[in-house]
């Protein structure tokens, strides 16, 4: 024996032995009870960090334990190269966008670029010794995954669970795509309440004055002594002039602002709930590129419009000074 243990040589030798002898390959002919492990495939979004190794090591502990208990362990591995993080990575590397390249060309670019990352990722997982069946390796952009997804959709359609409907979604104007909530991060930003006079008795404090053209209703809490008399009234929206009705709903916080809220399609999740509950009009005022649609805004992006409309509201006498 050597005077000192060469752990790198030992690990490499053992890893090669596992691979050459298919130690962790799933045996389709085995009569043993199957234990299946479905781990979320790591996203191809850059370099691997310690959290990756930690999370997959936990699943590997279970896999090894079940094998020792006599189970036939089904433990595939894959790479998620079909999402926003991968798209952003490829765009950054090649200094381009999916919109510029076109769908087919960009998909080819992603497939080509991610192969290098997949090779690196696989080597890292292999080096830490996780006992997956590498013969079952898959990618979420691969033909098999696409085919499986398509078959699943066809099945859902036959069951009557797939339908087409115009509904609000979370949208990224930069990437030109819908987003899931998992891809969002909360961020605290400074803002201010702007107190706007809609009429002599309807005053609203809002942080989103740029959404006034999307206002489809005004909501007050029916338990609010100072505002409940407004329910049923109709009023015209400043500058844009659409007539909206005052509705009573318990979801309004009487202590926030003036206790009177404008419902816009769409400022937040509560707006969506009110839109559905009261069958309100749909007023789309922002395009898919993040620019305001009404001519009033002169094609400005959302972030540019806030001060623009606040100044105009002030000049026209709609902003009440000294109130929040």
Predicted pLDDT at 281:
93
Cis bond upstream, residue 266 (ω within 30):
yes
Query: Cβ neighbours of residue 273 under 8 Å, at least 6 residues apart?
Result: 251
Full-prediction pTM beyond 0.95? no
Q: Tell me how far apart the alpha carbons of residues 115 and 83 are, in angstroms, rounded to a whole number.
A: 15
Predicted pLDDT at 324:
46
* Span 257-280, pLDDT tens digits: 899 999 999 988 999 999 999 999
DSSP state of 23: T
Please, which pLDDT band fits residue 63 given cuts at 50, 70 and 90?
very high
* Span 131-178, pLDDT tens digits: 999 999 998 888 888 899 999 999 999 999 998 888 888 888 887 888
Answer whether residue 61 shows pLDDT above 60. yes
- Work out the average pLDDT over 51-58: 82
How far apart, in Å, are the Cα atoms of 283 and each of 156, 168, 238, 294, 305? 31, 11, 15, 11, 17
* Span 170-220, pLDDT tens digits: 888 887 888 888 778 888 888 888 999 999 889 999 999 999 999 999 999
Of 39-53, 62-76, 266-280, the range with the lowest mean pLDDT is 39-53
Sign of the C-alpha dihedral computed for residues 208, 212, 214 and 217 taken in this order = positive
- Work out the average pLDDT over 288-295: 91
User: Which of 191, 207, 215 is closest to 266 using CA atoms?
Assistant: 215
What does the domain layout of the chain look like in residue ranges?
7-158, 194-315
Determine the 3-state secondary structure of 212 from DSSP.
helix
The answer to whether the beta carbons of residues 49 and 61 sit under 8 Å apart is no
Q: What is the CATH topology of the domain spanning 194-315?
A: Isoleucyl-tRNA Synthetase; domain 2 (3.90.740)
Answer whether residue 97 shows pLDDT above 50. yes
CATH class (in words) of the domain with range 7-158: alpha beta
């Amino acid at each position: 024996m050597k005077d000192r243990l060469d752990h790198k040589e030992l690990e490499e030798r053992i890893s090669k032995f596992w691979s050459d002898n298919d130690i962790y390959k799933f045996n389709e002919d085995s009569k043993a009870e199957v234990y299946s492990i479905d781990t979320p495939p790591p996203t191809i979004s850059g370099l691997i960090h310690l959290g990756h190794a930690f999370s997959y090591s936990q699943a590997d502990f279970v896999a090894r334990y079940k094998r020792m208990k006599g189970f036939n362990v089904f433990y595939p591995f894959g790479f998620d190269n079909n999402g926003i993080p991968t798209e952003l990575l490829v765009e950054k590397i090649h200094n381009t966008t999916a919109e510029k390249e076109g769908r087919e060309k960009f998909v080819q670019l992603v497939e080509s670029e991610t192969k290098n990352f997949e090779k690196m990722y696989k080597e890292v997982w292999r080096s830490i010794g996780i006992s997956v069946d590498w013969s079952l390796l898959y990618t979420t952009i691969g033909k098999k995954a696409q085919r499986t997804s398509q078959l699943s959709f066809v099945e859902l359609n036959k069951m009557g669970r797939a339908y087409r409907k115009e509904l609000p979604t979370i949208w990224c104007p930069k990437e030109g795509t819908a987003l899931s909530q998992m891809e969002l991060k909360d961020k605290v930003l400074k803002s201010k309440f702007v107190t706007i006079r809609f009429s002599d008795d309807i005053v609203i404090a809002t942080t989103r004055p740029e959404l006034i053209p999307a206002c489809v209703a005004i909501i007050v809490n029916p338990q609010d002594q100072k505002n409940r008399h407004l329910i049923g009234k109709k009023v015209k929206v400043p500058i844009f002039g659409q007539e909206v009705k005052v509705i009573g709903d318990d979801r309004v916080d009487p202590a926030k602002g003036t206790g009177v809220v404008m419902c816009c399609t769409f400022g937040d999740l509560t707006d969506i709930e009110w839109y559905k509950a009261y069958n309100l009009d749909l007023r789309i005022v922002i395009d898919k590129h993040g620019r305001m649609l009404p001519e009033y805004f002169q094609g400005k992006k959302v972030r540019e419009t806030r001060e623009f409309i606040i100044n105009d509201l002030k000049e026209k006498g709609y902003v009440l000074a000294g109130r929040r």
